Structures are given as C-alpha cells and as structure tokens.
Amino acid sequence: MSLKFSIDETDPFLKKVEGRYSDWKAFNILCQFLLQDDLSVRQAVSLLHNILPTKKEENLGGQPGMLVCVLLDIARQIPYSHPAQIQLVRLVGELRKSDRLTFHATDYDQGYSFYTSMPDLGMTLREWSPWTMGFDEVAHGVNMAAFAARLSASRIINGISFAIWDMRDNLEEDDESDLEHYSEYISCAAMWILCSGQWFFTEMVYVQRSPADLAEVGPSWRTGSLYKGPILGLERWKFWQKAFIAAAESVHANEECKTLSLKSANIMQALAENVTW
C-alpha cells in the first residue's frame, strides 16, 4: 500500500521560517523518513531536533506545539494497518527524549516539580477529539484512534481516558440518529483493542486506583446509557466484548467494521480468559 501525505499549502505561515523551524521543513523531514525509507529513526530525530528552538530561544517557544500538529496531521493520513504508523510511533518515542521538547513544570496542588516531554501531544489529541467528527475523511478518525492507542501502549501518552471515552461513546450509547457513521464509530473503538489490547486490559482490570485517583478523573470515566456497572473491571470489559459481537452481526456495519469487531471480540475474550491471575 503506497502512501502520500498532504498538507495545507494555502496556509500563509506554512513555509515561514522563524529561527530554524517551519512547518514545511518538519513536514518534509517526516515525509522523507516515512516515504523514502532512507533515514533511520535517530537520523530523523536529529533533523527535527536541530530545527527546534533551544531553551535560550524563548521567543520561539510555540514551535514544539506546531511540530506536534504536523506530526498528528500526518498520523491521521496513515491507514491504521500500515507499518508506517508503527514507525511514526517509534519516532515520537525517540523524539520525546530531546531536551528541546522537555519542559520543567510544577504541580502546585501536590507541591512538587517535574519534567515533562511533549506535553502538547496529549493536549492536541484532546483538542482534536472526538476524532470521528473532526476530519473531512471518514478513515482519518479511525487512523487517529489507532495512533493514539499505539502511543498509549508505548507509554508515550497516558491514554486511558481517550480509550474509555471512545469505548463509552461508541459502544455504550443507544444512538440511532447517526447510523451513516456507525461503522466508523465502532471501528474507532476497535482500534483500542487491536492496537493496544493488553495495555488496555491491564489498565481496566489490574491497575489499582485509590478513591483519590478516581476523584481526580471525576465523571469523565462515567458509563454510557446502556451500561450501569462498575467503571473499571471485567464487567465493563465483557460488556464491550458483547457490543463488538453485536456490531459484527449488525446490518448497519460494513464488512471492514464487521471484521474489526469480530477480531476485537476474540482478542478481548482471549485476554479475559488467559491474562487473569
């Protein structure tokens, strides 16, 4: 499957260089890495690192966020099943080690400071969600869900909230007002199982969260109208599995969605039966 990426070339700021960075430069480095296959991950990271501002160039502090937007714009164009998605995840994993993308932050509520890398990545994913509604091309929402799932499984982002939101919105609501996009919605949910299933299972079933932890997420992990059980644990996991089985047999699902749903249900069953202690 051949790839080709596009970017909005009508944007008057696309090729504007400030310091060493422009979105156009970043886009072309990423295209060279993903399409031409003549750069290693470390070589591509080095090229991107070198166009980013140093800590002394505070007036250019918005450029890391601009780079994240270019990265995500490319990610949504990569089909979820294409190896280039995994290559891009590898690149992001190495890129976040750059001191030009690492920032000192303070948690005033808890009274400690820490270093964080590429904070714009999670924030921009949040701003662009729900991905099923944010893009002109239907497939791009599914691709973005797959990319977020792979970032989460690689521990590059803390994606458990994204995963729960997608599963709730697409599997726990009885909404027949938008059946035109039914397959897209179900396929987005399936990406969290197909691309990060064991990570997701561990987060849902085994990670111990205190009442204080759950208070921090507040109502954001709430259940949908069709499911009234615990927000974490096997019961919700099995509800989602049954929802995928139903989707695999639904007259509203296209063949691709049915295939993804059945695969997801099988993986969920295998994890529930074989990765419990």
Judge whether 68 lies within some domain: yes
Dist. CA 201–CA 273, nearest whole Å: 12
Residues 202, 111 within the same domain: no
Q: Based on the structure, what is the number of domains in the chain? A: 2
Q: Which of 95, 118, 141 is the last residue of a domain?
A: 118
Q: Which of 61, 93, 118 is the last residue of a domain?
A: 118
Q: Whole domain around residue 60: which residue ranges?
A: 1-118
Residues 240, 263 within the same domain: yes
Which pTM was predicted?
0.94
Please give the chain's pLDDT, 277 residues, in tens.
689 999 999 999 999 999 999 999 999 999 999 999 899 999 999 999 999 999 898 788 889 999 999 999 999 999 999 999 999 999 999 999 999 999 888 888 888 999 999 999 999 999 988 776 666 677 899 999 999 999 999 999 999 999 999 999 999 998 777 788 899 999 999 999 999 999 999 999 999 999 999 998 989 999 999 999 999 999 999 999 999 999 999 999 999 999 999 999 999 999 999 987 7
Residues 83, 63 within the same domain: yes
Largest Cα–Cα distance of the chain, in whole Å? 59
Residues 109, 166 within the same domain: no
CB-CB contact of 130 with 185 (8 Å): no
Report the pLDDT value the prediction gives residue 139, as an integer from 0 to 100. Answer: 87
Residues 67, 142 within the same domain: no
Cβ neighbours of 182 (radius 10 Å): 19
Q: Which of 88, 97, 85 has the alpha carbon at shortest distance from 30?
A: 88
Judge whether 107 lies within some domain: yes
DSSP string, 87-147: HHHHHHHHHTTSGGGEEEEEETTTTEEEEEE-HHHHHHHHHH-SHHHH-SSHHHHHHHHHH
Q: Which residues make Cβ contacts (< 8 Å) with residue 189, sequence separation at least 6? A: 145, 166, 167, 170, 171, 240, 244, 264
Distances (CA, A) of 275 to 191, 202, 269: 20, 9, 10
Q: Which of 118, 142, 175 is the last residue of a domain?
A: 118
Judge whether 124 lies within some domain: no
